Structure 1
Amino acid sequence: MSPNALIPSHRKPRRPSASSRALRAGVTGGFLTLAVTGATVPANAAEKPVSETQEMPTITTALATSAARSADTAEQVAFNYERQALQDSAFSHAAKAAEKHKAEAVKKAKAEAKKKAEEARKAKEAAEARASRSSERSTLSAPSSSTATGSTATLVSFLKAQLGKAYVLGSSGPSSYDCSGLTQAAFSQIGIDLPRVSQDQSTQGTQVGLDNLQVGDILYWGSAGSAYHVGVYIGDGKFIGAQNSSTGIVERPLDYDMPTGAVRVL
């Protein structure tokens, strides 16, 4: 045993170091003392940068998300407006086209109605004219006192009186006739002067259809203006004419020798 073992130590008790005292004082006073390069930092001061570092990314992300959503919304609104404008424009064009088509259809319908009305008017006038001419004529068996009917009867009577007479080319009667000489002589009985030859007689008066013949119409064979034969229609589908040297002046049905055309001088 050392001679000094029982002798109280002469070393002074260890005093807490400044850092230990500061640590105890910091804990007691509500501060957290950190031994970083020998400096003491309050506990709340050490925690604050950590809190700020954790919150900043959260705030930045929220703002970015909100801005992105706002941009998307604005883009969608602009797209909707553009699409609506295109639809409105298409509807406007379609409406204008429909109105134009309707106007054209109405105009066409009015033109067709006007045309039909005009055709009906002309048909009515033609029918009235035919009825008027028919009323002015009578059948051969029942002549009337009207001038036209009397003229027609006189014409037919003269022609029938010539039946059986000879056909002689260039003759104008009274004992013989050629075709145009007979018609000229017959119409002279009622005061109508006809040219001498068939070609000229075929262009007198008004051209009429063979399905609309009336008593006294001049029939011709060949073309108008160059006819080679003429005769006179006497009704009931028959005509009288100076046919040729073999037959002389005869009465025949139309289908015996169907004429090419007819003219009306009465």
Structure 2
Amino acid sequence: MKQSDIDDILINPDQYLRNVLVDNVIFGYHNKELKVLLQQPIALDKWTVTGGYIKKTESIEEAANRIAYSRTGLKNLFFQQFRAFGNPTRSIDGSKNAKNFTKLSGIEVPDDLWIFDYFVSVGFYTLTEFSMVKIEKGVYEAECQWWPIDDLPALMFDHEHIISEALKALRLHIAHYPIGYELLSEKFTLPEIHSLYETILGKPLDDRNFAKRLMATGIIVKLNETKRIGAHRSPFLYRFDKEKYNEGLENGAALAF
């Protein structure tokens, strides 16, 4: 969340919905690793997923888009709501108090401000091509960076659970949506997309059956181009068929793994 966002909440709290926010798990794929974009508040040793409060003038989808844009610099990313999170203890953390907010913002924050109440979080996951992201951290954040999904730092609140549930949803949706389009570069080899799906699913997939099933959907097209990756290895490149891809988003591509 940007400094201006927090300052606006503290100065004009009535412009935001109370007791509900958006947590947006932003996934990227790089060097055969699925990664998640995390932010670390100043003076804390724990991290959080990207998230923020919802303005009364926007939908929750618009809030999720705004949050993703503020962190990646990219618009029109693929995002999916996957579940909500709520219990009376989920937002309890020693660092989330009026004293710390006053110190960070320079604005006097009352102890009973609604941002310290019990919150319900609407969870989204967002997919983006790793190389396109230009990370932008907020003024109140020490860091904002990618972390491998299998090597996460200590997380605040229930954010480890949120990431776990986002990954479950992604694994479920990958069988019905051509998710690779969002995470790979424009042109890719069959081994590269095969590796992506294995990484997300966390299990090996038979090379030939995978390629057959993917080609049968019609969502990828073989190009008359190759990628030189060794002295005697130049596999063909492929790209997604955007029209077929959009049909897949609407109807679900029948990929059974």
TM over 0.5: no
Task: Give the TM-score normalised by the residue count of structure 1.
Answer: 0.22
Higher helix share: 1
Higher strand share: 2
